[in-house]
Amino acid sequence: MYLTIRHDTAYRYEATVHYSIQQLRLTPASGASQVVRRWNIEAPGKLDATFDAYGNVLHTLVLNKPHSEIRLHVSGEVDTIPLVDGLLRDPVGPVPLEHYTCATRLTEADGAVRELAQSVPSLGSPDGLIKLSGEIVQRVQYRSGSTEVTSTAAEALALGSGVCQDHAHLMLACCRVRGIPARYVSGYIEPGQAPQGASHAWVDVWLGAGWISVDVTRAAFASEIYCRLAAARDYEAAAPVRGRRIGGLEEKLNVSVTVNAQAPQ
């Protein structure tokens, strides 16, 4: 599948910002599931490029001059490769598998999460992952704005609503309860008629033969309509944009993401 992607982000501040630093995980890498044809990030300053501990492309933007807004424009073209039952034939990566069995603040399991994790005995199989995904979306209805980026898997389960990030964190929490390595994936999806936006989150679960990519929100394996940006232990380590600033008072954020899919050209 040939995907064209546009991602615009605008931060506007109530007062002058004297200093800001942002870390951007907004650049996909070519791999077993995708080949990047073209990719470009426009930012109001120099972008210093490196890789984070998980091997994701990481850009750092530092603004030392007073400013009242930050605009980021991302655009690109990616060829995606179909996966059979979500099997991603990429290597383990720079981080040991054991790292992905450890709970984080966002994926800490309480009693309800442990009960959910044990509700699917076949969790260590691809079919089991899809079955658990169905259980998660049944118990946590998709509702935009019902949670925050700081909400935990346990909080979303107790609330009974959330978004794709919460679904992914619940799957991670359940897998880690069972000792199964699993990681968070951020990226894009061609949404079609689904209510979820083009900016998306899903999971990779290690089942021995490789990583199995599962979109928990859709209770389906990831396919050629997905573009991967970053993978890490949870949202906090894979967030597309994270930053800190001095000044600014209140912040207004506007994000627009469009993904169009067509047959390979």
Query: For 22-49, what is each residue's pLDDT tens digit?
Result: 999 999 999 989 999 999 999 999 999 9
Q: In which band, very low, low, confident or very high, does the pLDDT at 90 lie, cut at 50, 70 and 90?
A: confident
Give the residue extent of every domain in the chain: 2-80+240-262, 87-238
When mean pLDDT is compared across 18-22, 219-223, 259-263, the lowest value belongs to 259-263
* Residue whose entry in the numeric block shows the structure tokens 């794709």: 164
Averaged confidence pLDDT in the chain: 95
Question: Which band of pLDDT confidence, cut at 50, 70 and 90, is reported for residue 196?
Answer: low
215: CB partners within 8 A, 6+ apart? 133, 164, 189, 200, 202, 221, 222, 226
Q: What are phi and psi of 172, to 5 degrees?
A: -60, -45
242: Cα within 13 Å, side-chain hemisphere: 9
The CATH T-level fold of domain 87-238 is C8orf32 fold (3.10.620)
Rounded to 10 deg, the angle between the 164-177 and 111-118 helix axes is 80
- CATH class of domain segment(s) 2-80+240-262: mainly beta
Length of the chain, in residues: 265
Q: Are 73 and 24 in contact (CB under 8 A)?
A: no
Read off the pLDDT band of 192 (50, 70, 90): confident
pLDDT score, position 265: 65
Q: What type of residue sits at position 87? A: L
pLDDT at 93: 86
Q: What's the confidence (pLDDT) of residue 193?
A: 67
pLDDT for position 92: 83
Burial class (CB in 10 A: 0-12, 13-18, 19+), 22: buried
Q: How far apart are CA 121 and CA 131, in angstroms?
A: 10
Which amino acid is residue 165, in one-letter code? Q
At 126-180, the pLDDT tens digits run: 999 999 999 999 999 999 999 999 999 999 999 999 999 999 999 999 999 999 9
